Amino acid sequence: MKSAIPILVLFLAASCLAFPAAAEVYYSASTPQIITKGDTFVVSGIGAKNSTVAVWIIGREYFDVRTVTPDRYGNFSLVYKPTDTMKFQNGQYAVVLQDPGQSRSFEIGPGKDTGGNLTVMNRGKIISRLGRMEDLPGNVQQEAEALVSSARLEGVDDVFLIRYFSVEKPAIYIDEIIPASGSRLPDTTTGEKIVIAGITNLRGDDAIHAVISDAGSGAPITTKDIAILPGSSLNRWMYVLQEPGLEPGKYRITLSSAAMGSEENATAYLIVKDVESRAPAHQPPAPLPPGEASLPDWLDTLLILGILFVGAVIVYTLTKE
């Protein structure tokens, strides 16, 4: 379904007998430490020379433990296919790597009690109950820490390394949606180039299928497959419809991807106006007919003062006579 390695847990060996003190999680096409449901991801590392390595994945309604045997140089790699990650739900997940230590044998392992609760076992004895798998929450830090804390038990030399990542459903987001508008984009004018853009957590080797249709009849006007562009955090996409754009009317833009499934999409609405119906940004005042040009305010004031002055002079003259 998908290629490459969207998440990588890399272990740099501090010695040939134990895991190192630090590791990081990388996601190649989205926000760091976030993977998209349905992606392939790989847990891998080096320097694991104490025999088999166990990989625990714990998350919302998900619990899985697998083992992998390193090569003679201590390198190992474990692939989780899209059929695995499609079972992931939105939320936080923990990946815990377990090295058997110098004994080269695991003391700690997974199990279930008679009530169906997931358990952490020490040589077959229950030391912690994690609850039923379907009840595992969106934040599994407590459950993961309970597993890792078992390394402190007497007689246990297993070494654990824990990292967290988040899972999101595949999604497409559209920029410039007008708030509280019902997914409406800013209006545009017929004859203009139309540019619609946004972000997505889909990987670069996916594609977005765009359909512009009449909002009333639903009849498709134009379709196009859009490439996903790398972004600094989330990936980006851009749909460009060159001039003359669209005829006046209301349109619906639908964006979908095979990675999202047939029933998931992103939609927005766009109104294209005629050139004449779009008022200019600034309308100058209408000119007055000839002979009716208005005077500046200061001239009006000066005229009134002049009339008052002339009247005062006349009254003074008549009074004096």
Task: Report the CATH superfamily, name and number, of domain 172-273.
Answer: Macroglobulin (MG2) domain (2.60.40.1930)
| Closest C-alpha to 148, from 198, 110, 98 | 98
Q: How far is 148 from 113, CA to CA, in rounded Å? A: 20
Q: What is the pLDDT along the chain (321 residues), one digit of tens a residue?
A: 443 334 444 443 333 334 443 333 333 333 446 788 888 888 887 778 888 999 999 999 999 999 999 888 888 888 888 899 889 998 889 999 999 998 999 999 999 999 999 999 999 999 999 999 999 998 899 999 999 999 999 999 999 988 888 888 889 999 999 998 889 999 999 999 999 999 998 878 788 999 999 999 999 999 999 999 987 767 899 999 999 999 999 999 999 998 888 788 999 999 999 987 655 555 566 565 555 555 566 666 766 776 777 666 676 666 665
Residue 40 to residues 75, 81, 261, 292, 313: CA-CA distances in angstroms?
A: 20, 5, 16, 78, 100
Write the CB contacts of 109 (distance below 8 Å, at least 6 apart in sequence).
Answer: 54, 65, 120, 121
pTM over cut 0.75: no
3-class secondary structure, 320:
helix
Question: What are the boundaries of each domain within the chain?
Answer: 7-168, 172-273
Q: How far is 8 from 28, CA to CA, in rounded Å? A: 8
Beta bridge partners of 198: 174, 237
CB distance 287 to 204 below 8 Å: no
| Whole-number pLDDT of residue 9 | 47
Map tokens 């920029």 to a residue: 175
Other Cβ atoms within 10 Å of 61 Cβ, number: 15
Q: Give, rounded to a whole angstrom, the gap between the first and last alpha carbons of the chain.
A: 113
Beta bridge partners of 114: none
Write the CB contacts of 39 (distance below 8 Å, at least 6 apart in sequence).
Answer: 2, 6, 7, 82, 85, 203
User: Can you read off the two tokens belonging to residue 202?
Assistant: 């889909």
DSSP code for 124: T
User: Can you read off the two tokens belonging to residue 126?
Assistant: 């229950």
Edge-to-edge strand list for the sheet holding 62-68: 34-36, 159-168, 91-99, 53-59, 62-68
| Closest C-alpha to 22, from 47, 3, 1 | 47
Backbone angles phi, psi at 268, to 5 degrees: -150, 160
User: Can you read off the two tokens belonging to residue 295?
Assistant: 């005077």
| Whole-number pLDDT of residue 73 | 85
